[in-house]
Structure 1
Amino acid sequence: MNLASRLARLPREARDTLFLLAVVACCIAPLAAHLPPWASAMTATLLAWRAWLAAGSRPLPGRWLTAVLLALVVLLTLQSHGTIVGRDAGVTLIVMLLALKTLELRARRDAMVVFFLGFFTLLANFFFSQALPIAAVMLVALLGLLTALVNAHMPVGRPPLATAMRQAARMMLLGAPIMALLFLLFPRMAPLWGMPADKTGARTGLSGQMSIGSMASLVLDGSVALRVRFDTPGGLPPEPQDLYFRGPVLTAFNGRDWFALSQPEARGITAAAPSPAHLQVQGAPLRYELTLEPHQRPWLLTLDATKAAPELPQGSWALMSPELQWSASRPIHSVLRYRAESHLRFTHGPLRRTPQMQAYVQLPPDLNPRTLALARQMQADPRLGRGGAQAFVDAALARLAQGGYRYSLEPGLYGEHTADEFWFTRKEGFCEHIASAFVVLMRALDVPARIVTGYQGGQMNAIDGYWTVHQSDAHAWAEVWIAGRGWVRVDPTGAVAPGRVGQLQRLQAPRGVFGAAMDAVVSPTLLQNLRTVWEAVNNGWNQWVLNYTQGRQLDLLKALGVQSPSWQDLVRLLGFLICSSAAAGALWALWERRRQDPWQQLLQRARERLARAGLALPPHLPPRGMAEQARAHLGPPAEPAAQWLLRLEQARYARHPAAALPRLRREFARLPWPAAQSRRTGTP
């Protein structure tokens, strides 16, 4: 016997309970990654236990057991979160209360509580993510909860779940216009509007620290870091060598890790302040709109170099550091869209060496002796000595290009002397290995240098026209200070692998057994096309839903003819539409009340046909009473009509009442109704 047959044989109460448990599991499942392990395990156990009880029509546990479990849940929540208030602790409690409440499904009121907690849990998913997949899962869960709610209001018989689901879908469709109006017009007044953010959430992507070898792991992350739409003909980006999105600038070095001067770890390495920016731009700016994925840090990624502050949503502002790094007033906890303009030709930094430059030549003592020896050798070369810092840079790049160095994702684990191993032993590495070894050599040559992290390159999405930058495009490059020119970008990775910068070629992660098998079954081109379509769809969700700000609301009012729109205009328009919708709903309800259901209409037609035969019956008489009156007053000619009336009454209480109505209508049209007789009134 298959599963469908077994479910069909279950009592209605067991079937409805199992369906509700499946819906509850759908609401909770996306939260599993954000719950403590004990909460996820306990929730799964409770739901499975409740399903076992329902399937076997077994008695529910006593209230004392649920009380003990509730106390245990509160204690475990306190131990895990240190509190029972706040986002994470509150969501944990809500999920556990929902799971525990399923053990008390004894009456209809208990089911109503489960529905309420289910809707709240459904909304709690958006505390952690508003991504399109989560929204799709929650839409399915919403349909399931509404189906269970409609089914609970159909207490007679065994109505199929498909009937309740159709009614629930109809409710959702009827409510969709109102939901859309509320989304479009409800005033988004910062900082009241938005999701609460948890500063302790997971962090991905770039950080204010770079450990040698850590950035190579980002190439395995194919998620989107940012999207850009350029205000150029066709939305085309600038040349590949100009696609450097600036992130944290790292100055302090302890031998293995690089830190930004703002990081607490950098204070024990150098106490110097960064040199002033002295940014000078040339030519017309390149304007673009950038959509930044949440990374839980305040950094704003912009193209080098951005002089004017990016245009952030209302309630936020941006600040540029002396190292040309832009930061927002608060961490980026949700998708952020902003406009910026950058000058691809620029100079920055002092033209003459200042005391602040000492921070950019500091090296940890007793490390990388062979690199220091190489620096002394290069300084002793009279040709290089006369050329200054630029000659040293050119010599180092020539060594990288001609010395047999390789660009690799798997250079192995570096030891204590990271620069020595790269220059003399391994001769291979990812961008951070190359940039770090290059900067160490420059500092050993007394040339101020630092590391800049960010993203380089990207890929055009042909569907929506956005330039997409993935986490796998994370990059590290160097900046050196040259007298008379200031800070100059030098990308030593380009000397080792010119295609990395020129043609935006990326190293591919090694394919495992599963990946190789998938390539044999599914074309890599097809997978890439599917990925492009998905990224375009997801970008549309981000642009038109998650980034629907007050500015876009006011633009909508302008399109409707409002000259100088404000949030008060939004409130007035929203109030007018809500009142109009309420009035339309009231009129619809009045019209519905005056309508009779199909069964009542058919009964009324039978009453009218009997009245034509001379038998006037009161409207409250049921079909069985009408059949008895017809037999008593109209005799044998009324027997077919009496039998039809009994079948009509039987259909009213059948498992599928609507299924029999078409047949009864056809029989009604063919019935030999009694002919008109002398007018007599039947008395029930």
Structure 2
Amino acid sequence: MLTRLHALPRDARDTLFLLLVIGWVVLPQVGHLPWWCTALAAGVLLFRGWLAIAARRLPGQWWLAVLLVVALTATWMTHRTLLGRDAGVTLIVILLALKTLELRARRDAFVIFFLGFFTMLTNFFFSQSLPTAAAMLLALLGLLTALVNAHMPVGKPPLLHAARTAVVLALFGAPVMAVLFVLFPRFGPLWGIPGDAMSGRSGLSSTMQIGNLASLALDDSIAMRIRFDGAPPPQQELYFRGPVLTSFDGREWRALQPRLGSRFAPALTAPAGLQVSGAPVRYEVTLEPNNRPWLFVLDATPQSPTVPGFDTVMTGELQWIASRPVTDLLRYRAESYPTYRYGPRSTAALLPEYLELPAGFNPRTLELARQLRSDPALAGGGPLALVNAALQRLRSGGYRYTLEPGTFGQHTADEFWFDRKEGFCEHIASAFVVLMRAMDVPARVVTGYQGGDRNPVDGFWAVRQSDAHAWAEVWLSGRGWVRVDPTAAVAPGRTGAFERLQPARGALASAFNAVTPDIAASVRAAWEALNNAWNQRVLNYTQSKQLDMLKNLGFDSPSWEDLSYVLIAVIVLVAAIGAAWTLWERTQHDPWLRLLARVRKRLRAAGVELPPASAPRQIATLVTSRFGTQAKPLADWLLQLEAQRYSRNPHSSLVALQRDYRQLAWPE
């Protein structure tokens, strides 16, 4: 195969390499492009490769015009616009592929190179992860190799030679790139500008449907990373608060919406009677993009998290919300108090929605609630006794925590309490809150993340999408809202470190984990630590980080003007170093050749025409024939100059010849 490729003409071989690089640039975007765009681009690249191998003529301009019109029409029908991120990326990929059908001259190749560089950058619209950066670095080297190869028009140079040159060029450009990365003013990230930048990838939602999923496939990707300033709280106490769901229609839980003109609306924008005590837990959160405005913090966080570039507000349900969705990696600091109390102290200030249940649903759960309330043993214990009775039923009633509960019918709470007796956290929390409300105990569902695991490599706690969790809050007189996790009653290990359910793995992954579990865990920890370092030091290098760097350099109150001054100073310093390097390099050139060049220049000024590559002896002969005995001192000096260069035992040193040159009497 390699022999056949090597036997191809130079143009065909270079074209195939360029097509391969273009395919590599486009490949990471296949999951984000419309199917027809991927099919059209792949078909065009394969067709162009066949034309190169078969030495066939390229299609005419009419064919290209037809394909362009088809691509524009399909883009409009898919995105309903020709502008914006998704439509723009679709068009640039199609234009890059179609341009290969016009690859007739070096000028066309240069257009493809620069379209390829631009297309390479569009990959970062969708992902700025370390694997994407590594793939684009390889694409950059491939495009540079093709560009260098295009500047070698003679012969059939090996691609390896062009690749070495490309690597050297990239290495020379790396310091410039690093300086610009550190010092160039950081504005809002380009990737976060479009409103349609990404679909929601969070393991949470603003609603929670019960019973529609027969099985739950856990997403093991990172949702956020936590770095605690000191000792972290116990793992079973790591509840990161998200949306609070109050309204229930029998199948779906929704967040409570403010009602205009309602006396309850102010309660949704300010927490009622929040009191904290004890020592706070200070930590830093690195939140992955999720296209949601939620800021996940531990309960309870009375002060706003420090979020650069965002305005934040706390709802009356203790949830912190940012001023816009998180479409870029976001790092913020927070201070939480594990010991807290909040909520109204009397039922008069409670919303009626916390007791509402839809009519015609879950009759057996309502009957169970009536029986518990009429139980003489619970009569004097109040709501707290009813809560404990429900938790005891979960502990001793044979209930099971599972990722495959099957689909539920109309009466989801009835099926959980009496029929299936199994479910994951959503089923358990929903059934528990329904039972509480049926016993006139105000209750609601809280969603968020629970737990996490510490990476032994970098010390960060990783909270995964699979750690998404639902628990309950009940209102108790004199205490306010109290967290109750009914899932912990069914499966205590769910909020601990050892008994978490795992998604089904493939055969290869299962075999590898079974044979070498320690190695698998170590490799995973190292990889996640490497990704975290990329996130912390590269993706999260923000404006505040630049200003903090200026503070370390001695600026008291750094500003963008100071940053510009530092950048200009660095540019001037680099320019001065470059000039000094140039002067030094000039002095390192062969002084013998420079001295001979001075002689040739002076003789040309005197009207003596010299051959381009004339040696000192030849020059001596020419000046003697031109000026006679008047040129004898110069001719003798030229012979000494030649002897100094080529004789094993020269009579004069180069320094002496340079001195004698200044004292020569030149013929006229």
Q: Which amino acid aligns with 1:552?
A: K
Deviation at 1:515, TM superposition (A): 4.2
Please tell me whether residue 406 in structure 1 is matched to residue 403 in structure 2.
Answer: no
Asked whether the 8 Å contact 2:216–2:404 carries over to 1, the reply is no
CA distance in structure 1 between the aligned counterparts of 2:465 and 2:81, rounded to whole angstroms: 35
Matched ranges for 1:486-565 at <5 A: 486-503=480-497, 505-519=499-513, 523-565=516-558
Indicate the residue corresponding to 2:256 in structure 1.
Answer: 261
Matched ranges for 1:253-652 at <5 A: 253-262=248-257, 274=268, 276-313=271-308, 315-354=309-348, 356-503=350-497, 505-519=499-513, 523-585=516-578, 620-621=612-613
CA distance in structure 2 between the aligned counterparts of 1:89 and 1:622, rounded to whole angstroms: 65
Asked whether the 8 Å contact 2:451–2:496 carries over to 1, the reply is no
Give the 3-state SS of the residue equivalent to 2:380 in structure 1.
helix
Asked whether the 8 Å contact 1:215–1:432 carries over to 2, the reply is no
Which of 31, 56, 59 is the matching residue for 2:57? 59
Deviation at 1:202, TM superposition (A): 1.8
Give unpaired runs (5+ residues) of structure 2: 597-608, 619-645, 647-668
Which of 169, 184, 195 is the matching residue for 2:167? 169
Runs of 4+ in 1 over 6 A off after TM superposition: 214-218, 270-273, 589-597
Please tell me whether residue 221 in structure 1 is matched to residue 219 in structure 2.
Answer: yes
**Aligned in 2, Cα 1:622/1:492: closer, same or farther, shift over 3 Å?**
farther
**Comparing 199-208 and 162-171, the one that deviates more:** 199-208
CA distance in structure 1 between the aligned counterparts of 2:273 and 2:26, rounded to whole angstroms: 53
Deviation at 1:197, TM superposition (A): 3.2
Please tell me whether residue 138 in structure 1 is matched to residue 131 in structure 2.
Answer: no
Give the 3-state SS of the residue equivalent to 2:31 in structure 1.
helix
CA distance in structure 1 between the aligned counterparts of 2:16 and 2:524, rounded to whole angstroms: 36
CA distance in structure 1 between the aligned counterparts of 2:490 and 2:371, rounded to whole angstroms: 22
- Please report the TM-score for the alignment, with normalisation by the length of structure 1: 0.83
Deviation at 1:594, TM superposition (A): 9.3
Deviation per CA, 1:555-611: give whole Å up to 9, x if none.
Answer: 2122222233211111011112223334544666687799989xxx9xx9xxxxxxx
Give the 3-state SS of the residue equivalent to 2:381 in structure 1.
helix
**Aligned in 2, Cα 1:182/1:214: closer, same or farther, shift over 3 Å?**
farther
**Aligned in 2, Cα 1:545/1:484: closer, same or farther, shift over 3 Å?**
same
Q: Which amino acid aligns with 2:74?
A: L
Give the 3-state SS of the residue equivalent to 2:473 in structure 1.
strand
CA distance in structure 2 between the aligned counterparts of 1:163 and 1:593, rounded to whole angstroms: 28
Indicate the residue corresponding to 1:633 in structure 2.
Answer: none
Deviation per CA, 1:250-308: give whole Å up to 9, x if none.
Answer: 001111111111499x99xx999659532111112111001001110000000011100
Give the 3-state SS of the residue equivalent to 1:34 in structure 2.
coil
Q: Which amino acid aligns with 1:187?
A: P
Indicate the residue corresponding to 1:245 in structure 2.
Answer: 240
**Comparing 465-474 and 581-590, the one that deviates more:** 581-590
**Aligned in 2, Cα 1:586/1:50: closer, same or farther, shift over 3 Å?**
farther
Deviation at 1:428, TM superposition (A): 0.8
CA distance in structure 2 between the aligned counterparts of 1:59 and 1:569, rounded to whole angstroms: 58
Q: Which amino acid aligns with 1:378?
A: L
Asked whether the 8 Å contact 2:512–2:520 carries over to 1, the reply is no
Indicate the residue corresponding to 1:82 in structure 2.
Answer: 80
**Comparing 585-594 and 550-559, the one that deviates more:** 585-594
CA distance in structure 1 between the aligned counterparts of 2:72 and 2:614, rounded to whole angstroms: 56
CA distance in structure 2 between the aligned counterparts of 1:84 and 1:515, rounded to whole angstroms: 43
Asked whether the 8 Å contact 1:480–1:488 carries over to 2, the reply is yes
CA distance in structure 2 between the aligned counterparts of 1:17 and 1:531, rounded to whole angstroms: 40
**Aligned in 2, Cα 1:214/1:470: closer, same or farther, shift over 3 Å?**
farther
Asked whether the 8 Å contact 2:212–2:408 carries over to 1, the reply is no
Q: Which amino acid aligns with 1:367?
A: F
Which of 59, 67, 70 is the matching residue for 1:69? 67
Deviation at 1:194, TM superposition (A): 6.0
CA distance in structure 1 between the aligned counterparts of 2:562 and 2:48, rounded to whole angstroms: 51
Indicate the residue corresponding to 1:672 in structure 2.
Answer: none
Please tell me whether residue 196 in structure 1 is matched to residue 196 in structure 2.
Answer: no
Indicate the residue corresponding to 1:118 in structure 2.
Answer: 116
Asked whether the 8 Å contact 1:215–1:474 carries over to 2, the reply is no
Indicate the residue corresponding to 1:92 in structure 2.
Answer: 90
Q: Which amino acid aligns with 1:399?
A: R
**Aligned in 2, Cα 1:195/1:481: closer, same or farther, shift over 3 Å?**
closer
- Please report the TM-score for the alignment, with normalisation by the length of structure 2: 0.85
Asked whether the 8 Å contact 2:513–2:520 carries over to 1, the reply is no
CA distance in structure 2 between the aligned counterparts of 1:527 and 1:219, rounded to whole angstroms: 21
Deviation at 1:507, TM superposition (A): 0.7
Asked whether the 8 Å contact 1:219–1:473 carries over to 2, the reply is no
Give the 3-state SS of the residue equivalent to 1:354 in structure 2.
helix
CA distance in structure 2 between the aligned counterparts of 1:474 and 1:214, rounded to whole angstroms: 18
Indicate the residue corresponding to 1:610 in structure 2.
Answer: none
Asked whether the 8 Å contact 2:416–2:423 carries over to 1, the reply is yes
Indicate the residue corresponding to 1:151 in structure 2.
Answer: 149
Asked whether the 8 Å contact 1:218–1:471 carries over to 2, the reply is no
Deviation per CA, 1:176-227: give whole Å up to 9, x if none.
Answer: 11110101011124x4776423336221221101112579966621100111
**Comparing 200-209 and 13-22, the one that deviates more:** 200-209
Asked whether the 8 Å contact 2:125–2:191 carries over to 1, the reply is no
Give the 3-state SS of the residue equivalent to 2:290 in structure 1.
coil
Indicate the residue corresponding to 1:630 in structure 2.
Answer: none
Give the 3-state SS of the residue equivalent to 2:347 in structure 1.
coil
Indicate the residue corresponding to 2:228 in structure 1.
Answer: 230
Deviation at 1:157, TM superposition (A): 1.1
Asked whether the 8 Å contact 1:431–1:476 carries over to 2, the reply is yes
Give the 3-state SS of the residue equivalent to 2:284 in structure 1.
strand
**Comparing 407-416 and 511-520, the one that deviates more:** 511-520
Q: Which amino acid aligns with 1:554?
A: L
Deviation at 1:619, TM superposition (A): 5.8
Pairwise CA RMSD: 3.0
Deviation at 1:115, TM superposition (A): 0.6
CA distance in structure 2 between the aligned counterparts of 1:108 and 1:583, rounded to whole angstroms: 36
Give the 3-state SS of the residue equivalent to 1:366 in structure 2.
coil
Q: How many residues align?
A: 603
Which of 38, 41, 52 is the matching residue for 2:39? 41
Deviation at 1:502, TM superposition (A): 3.6
CA distance in structure 1 between the aligned counterparts of 2:25 and 2:505, rounded to whole angstroms: 35
Give the 3-state SS of the residue equivalent to 1:281 in structure 2.
strand
CA distance in structure 1 between the aligned counterparts of 2:119 and 2:170, rounded to whole angstroms: 19
Asked whether the 8 Å contact 1:435–1:451 carries over to 2, the reply is yes
Q: Identity rate of aligned residues, in percent?
A: 60
CA distance in structure 2 between the aligned counterparts of 1:172 and 1:103, rounded to whole angstroms: 29
Give the 3-state SS of the residue equivalent to 1:220 in structure 2.
coil
Asked whether the 8 Å contact 1:240–1:504 carries over to 2, the reply is no
CA distance in structure 2 between the aligned counterparts of 1:52 and 1:622, rounded to whole angstroms: 53
Deviation at 1:170, TM superposition (A): 0.7
